């Protein structure tokens, strides 16, 4: 009898998963002093008297903005998201001990949606701060445990636990790639850190995707990019991106069968052109790396210091050559295109009300529903919408955008994105009203500023 009882106890003990006994309390206690809450006062005030519940996360100016950040230098430098402090006339920081500080802006990088601020300390201040240690996000693996910190809904610094669900996600925020996690990331977590179990920051919480009635999915910008950008913002106030002046796509050399990057466009002002590279040439390797991933290649070249040498293996008409191209600083025109794409795609999302099939298009501040046989019926229109000033109202249907038939919110978003990348040119819409059908030109400004 006693033997059976002991066997029962042993079976219960060993049936408990090992991870059920784990605690992250020591880790949290170690890194919590690095995390801060951020609030701002906006420069303009919204005239809207109310916001309909249909409008999911509209851009409300004049209201206190809440977000998160973390120390990256002992002297009070803090990294956060640009959208957390955008248009702020005053920035306030509260550390983990509840002490208030005022902060000043050091620099922003719109393509990555990052910003660095610094506590505005008195000259005789003896306050010291605990900077994070950046880890290598490239070495993080799918399935690794992570902790995300932030200020959800303004409640105060909180921590959530999860795993890395995926890597190298493209989520429509410029050309950046993100770490996906199931750890809870909510409104107010933007700018907060994602730690691995070695107390290293491997990402900065940036975005969520969710629909009503569903658990959200969180995304974090990898630490390698965040560290590189924040260092440049602190040292020089801006980010100097590398540029070689070419656009590439995947391809195969028909003479040799080798795969690589086909040059589809090349600037005559680039060092690549001066070195003899031309449209149609195929890059098969760069700096001893195989040319197999265009996103990796883009990140590699953009993060190179201007003046550094990029070694290329190039196949031209079946003949392989070796070229050395000196990386240049990305010129203003190219940087503007990168920034415009990021600005347009940062707002490029829609939220669905799963019960009613309603979609909110943030660029136009409208809620729509798919119409039959085509088009999007406007169910709700915010007075700040650029369509409102054109006399467009609820019940009208968007039939076409720039001559293309519209069948879904994705169609409209793609057209909006194309117009934004093209320096935010006006967009031609065909509208079916209650009395007639007409065309209007609509300007879609950066983030509806």
Between 304 and 217, where is the model more confident?
304
Q: Which of 318, 301, 310 is nearest to 252 (CA)?
A: 318
Q: The dihedral of CA 121, 125, 127, 128: what is its sign? A: positive
Residues 162 and 178 in one domain: yes
Q: Is residue 2 part of a domain?
A: no
Half-sphere exposure of 120 (CA within 13 A, CB side): 10
pLDDT in tens, 158-185: 788 888 887 766 544 445 678 888 777 7
Domain count, the chain: 3
> Is 343 in the same domain as 323?
no
Residue 165 lies in a domain: yes
Shared domain for 195 and 212, answered yes or no, is yes
Note whether residue 301 is domain-resident. Answer: yes
Note whether 54 and 177 are same-domain residues.
yes
With respect to residue 17, please indicate whether it lies within any of the assigned structural domains: no
**Same domain for 320 and 371:** no
In a domain, 267, yes or no: yes
As a whole number of angstroms, the distance between CA 114 and CA 386 comes to 27
Q: Is residue 9 part of a domain?
A: no
Q: Give the pLDDT band (50/70/90) at residue 356.
A: low
Chain-centroid distance of CA 301 in Å reads 19
362 inside domain = yes
Q: What is the mean pLDDT of residues 238-261?
A: 86
Is 19 a domain residue? no
What is the mean pLDDT of the segment spanning 427-432?
A: 88
262 and 250 Cβ atoms separated by less than 8 Å: yes
pLDDT, one tens digit per residue, over 119-134 is 998 888 888 898 999 9
Is a pLDDT exceeding 70 seen at residue 355? no
The interaxial angle of helices 332-346 and 409-421, nearest 10 deg, is 160
Name the more confident of 290 and 44.
Answer: 290
Cα 8 to Cα 223: distance, rounded to the nearest angstrom: 47
Domain termination residue (choose one: 329, 358, 386): 329
Shared-domain flag, residues 273 and 171: no
> How would residue 294 be classed by pLDDT, with cut points 50, 70 and 90?
confident
Are 36 and 72 contacting, i.e. CB atoms less than 8 angstroms apart? no
Task: Show Cβ contacts of residue 207 under 8 Å, excluding neighbours closer than 6 positions.
Answer: 171, 173, 178, 190, 218, 219
54 with 135, same domain: the answer is yes
Give the residue numbers spanning the domain of 356. 338-448
Residue 112: exposed, middle, or buried by beta-carbon count in 10 A (0-12, 13-18, 19+)? buried
Same domain, 101 and 223: yes
CA distance 374 to 380: 18
In this model, does residue 153 exceed pLDDT 70? Answer: no
Domain end residue (candidates: 200, 220, 236)? 236
Q: Report whether the peptide linkage leading into residue 114 is cis, meaning its omega lies within 30 degrees of zero.
A: no
Q: Which residues are catalytic?
A: 83, 113, 190
pTM above 0.75, yes or no: no
pLDDT computed for residue 137 by the predictor = 87
Share the mean pLDDT of the chain.
Answer: 78
- Does residue 155 share a domain with residue 304? no
Q: Which residue has the higher pLDDT, 334 or 82?
A: 82
User: Do 149 and 55 share a structural domain?
Assistant: yes
Q: Kindly report the CATH number assigned to the domain that includes residue 312.
A: 2.30.42.10
Asked if pLDDT for residue 361 goes beyond 90, the answer is: no
Q: Per residue, what are the HEC states of the chain? A: CHHHHHHHHHHHHHHCCHHHHCCCHHHHHHHHHHEEEEEEEECCCCCCCCCCCCCCCCCCCCCCEEEEEEECCCCCEEEEEHHHHCCEEEEEEECCCCCEEEEEEEEEEHHHCEEEEEECCCCCCCCCCCCCEECCHHHCCCCCEEEEEECHHHCCCEEEEEEEEEEEECCCCCCCCEEEECCCCCCCCCCCEEECCCCEEEEEEEEEECCCCCCCEEEEEEHHHHHHHHHHHHHHCCCCCEECCEEEEEEECCCCCCEEEEEEEECCCCHHHHCCCCCCCEEEEECCEECCCHHHHHHHHHCCCCCCEEEEEEEECCEEEEEEEECEECCHHHHHHHHHHHHHHHCCCEEEECCCCEEEECCCCEEEEECCCCCEEEEEECCCCCCHHHCCCCCCEEEEECCEECCCHHHHHHHHHHHHHCCCCCEEEEEECCCCEEEEEECCCHHHC
β-sheet bridge partners, residue 432: 397, 437
Q: Is there a single domain that holds both residue 129 and residue 197?
A: yes
pLDDT (tens digit per residue) in 30-43: 999 999 988 887 65
- pLDDT of 364-394, one tens digit each? 878 888 888 888 999 888 877 888 888 898 8
Distance from chain centroid for Cα 194: 14
Task: Say if strands 158-169 and 114-119 run parallel, antiparallel, or are unpaired.
Answer: unpaired
pLDDT of residue 346: 43
At 71, the pLDDT band (50, 70, 90 cuts) reads: very high
Q: Do residues 29 and 177 share a domain? A: yes
The CATH code of the domain that includes 117 is 2.40.10.120
Residue 115 has a pLDDT of 92
Summarize pLDDT for 264-281 with one digit per residue, the tens.
889 999 999 999 999 989
What average pLDDT does this structure show over 303-324?
90
- Residue 165 has which token pair? 């669900």
Domain boundary, last residue among 329, 350, 370: 329
């Amino acid at each position: 009898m006693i033997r059976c009882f002991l066997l029962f106890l042993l079976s219960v003990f060993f049936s408990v998963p090992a991870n059920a006994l784990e605690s992250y309390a020591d880790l949290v206690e170690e890194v919590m002093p690095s995390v801060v809450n951020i609030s701002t006062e906006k420069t303009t005030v919204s005239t809207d008297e109310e916001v309909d519940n249909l409008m999911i996360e509209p851009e409300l100016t004049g209201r206190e903005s809440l977000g998160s950040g973390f120390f990256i230098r002992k002297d009070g430098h803090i990294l956060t998201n640009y959208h957390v402090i955008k248009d702020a006339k005053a920035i306030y920081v509260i550390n983990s001990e509840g002490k208030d500080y005022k902060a000043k802006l050091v620099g922003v990088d719109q393509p990555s949606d990052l910003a660095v601020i610094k506590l505005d300390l008195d000259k005789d201040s003896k306050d010291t701060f605990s900077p994070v240690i950046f880890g290598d996000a490239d070495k993080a693996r799918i399935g690794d445990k992570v902790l995300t910190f932030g200020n959800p809904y303004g409640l105060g610094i909180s921590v959530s636990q999860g795993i890395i669900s995926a890597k190298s996600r493209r989520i429509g925020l410029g050309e950046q790639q993100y770490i996906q996690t199931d750890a809870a990331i909510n409104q107010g977590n933007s700018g907060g850190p994602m730690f691995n179990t070695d107390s290293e920051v491997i990402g900065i919480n940036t975005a969520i995707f969710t629909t009503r009635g569903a658990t959200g999915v969180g995304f974090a910008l990898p630490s390698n990019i965040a560290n590189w950008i924040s260092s440049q913002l602190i040292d020089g106030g801006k980010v100097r991106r590398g540029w070689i002046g070419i656009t590439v796509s995947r391809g195969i050399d028909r003479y040799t069968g080798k795969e690589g990057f086909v040059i589809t466009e090349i600037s005559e002002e680039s060092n690549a052109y001066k070195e003899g590279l031309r449209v149609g040439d195929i890059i098969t390797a760069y700096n001893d790396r195989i040319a197999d991933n265009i996103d990796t290649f883009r990140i590699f070249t953009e993060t190179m210091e201007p003046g550094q040498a990029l070694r290329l293996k190039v196949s031209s008409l079946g003949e392989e050559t070796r070229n050395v191209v000196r990386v240049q600083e990305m010129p203003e025109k190219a940087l503007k295109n990168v920034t415009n794409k990021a600005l347009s795609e940062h707002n490029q999302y829609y939220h669905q009300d799963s019960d009613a099939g309603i979609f909110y298009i943030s660029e136009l501040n409208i809620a729509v529903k798919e119409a039959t046989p085509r088009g999007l019926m406007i169910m709700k229109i915010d007075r700040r919408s650029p369509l409102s000033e054109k006399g467009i109202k609820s019940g009208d249907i968007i039939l076409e955008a720039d001559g293309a038939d519209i069948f879904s919110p994705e169609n409209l978003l793609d057209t909006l994105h194309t117009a934004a990348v093209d320096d935010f040119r006006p967009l031609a819409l065909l509208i079916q009203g209650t009395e007639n059908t007409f065309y209007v030109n609509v300007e879609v400004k950066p983030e509806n500023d």
